[in-house]
Amino acid sequence: MNKEIAVIFDMDGVICHTNPYHSLAFREFFSSRNLAPTDEEFAAHMFGKSNSYILSHFFKRPVTGEELLQLEEEKESLFRKIYEPHIDPIAGIMPFINDLEANHVKLGVATSAPRANLDLILTKVNIRKKMTSILASENVSKHKPDPEVYLKSAANLGLQPDQCLVFEDSFSGVSAALNAGMRVVGVLSSHSREELPPCNLYINDYNELSYQKILTLFG
């Protein structure tokens, strides 16, 4: 099979298990404001969501403009401080990416997180030079589940959406990839398969994955 394909990775919960550390950072952030969201609220309203959505939801009012930028920087700085000593890629992802690269698959990252978070992770997970497209929250005007970040990724990679396979772990992320007309692998790091829209494949980690296995998803 000679069909040219691309694989695009979300970051949080897909490249690294960051979500527990985002929860810790948000708990500290909200605690300083006398707010105490439950685990269920975090699961429903944090994972895979943009900071503008998260802050507006928990503050129960729109958070925009300069206030959003200031609050976002406060929370994300907390996250980076808490997470930096713990950066570790999800099991098997490095050999999998190397296998894809060896078979000339185009690779990209598309995250709703700020560029500074992505840069932090890419200092410890050595994949930057393997990626043809790297997009963060600053690169889009509409956040997941809008497909903008994935459509931009496809354009950067020079391929059509139906040539792209996305790895996602959240409801909004999977929805964004499906809305872009792409195939999706659900990474079950934050949610069960029942909590995600229907995906082409579900994985717990990358140990069982290979270039040959993902080729079968393109039929």
Question: Which top CATH class is 6-17+88-218?
Answer: alpha beta
Q: 113, 134 in Cβ contact below 8 A?
A: no
Q: What is the pLDDT of residues 35-83, one digit of tens each?
A: 999 888 888 888 778 888 999 999 999 999 999 999 999 999 999 999 9
Cα gap 121→89, rounded to integer Å:
9
Q: 166, 177 in Cβ contact below 8 A?
A: yes
Q: What confidence score (pLDDT) does residue 2 get?
A: 56
Beta strands per DSSP E along 60-182: 106-110, 133-135, 164-168
The region, left, alpha or beta by phi > 0 then psi within -120 to 50, assigned to residue 126 is: beta
Quick check: 33 pLDDT over 80?
yes
Task: At 8, list the tokens.
Answer: 């695009």
Task: Provide the residue ranges of all domains of the chain, joining segments of one domain with +.
Answer: 6-17+88-218, 19-85
Cα gap 135→42, rounded to integer Å:
24
Q: What confidence score (pLDDT) does residue 121 get?
A: 97
Q: Which architecture does CATH list for 19-85?
A: Orthogonal Bundle (1.10)
Q: What confidence score (pLDDT) does residue 111 get?
A: 95
Q: 127, 206 in Cβ contact below 8 A?
A: no
Name which of 136, 141, 130, 172 is nearest 153 in CA terms.
Answer: 136
Claim: this prediction has a pTM higher than 0.95? no
Main-chain phi, psi angles of 95, to 5 degrees: -60, -35
Confidence of residue 141 (pLDDT cuts 50, 70, 90): very high
Q: What confidence score (pLDDT) does residue 205 get?
A: 97
Residue of 1 and 204 predicted with greater confidence: 204
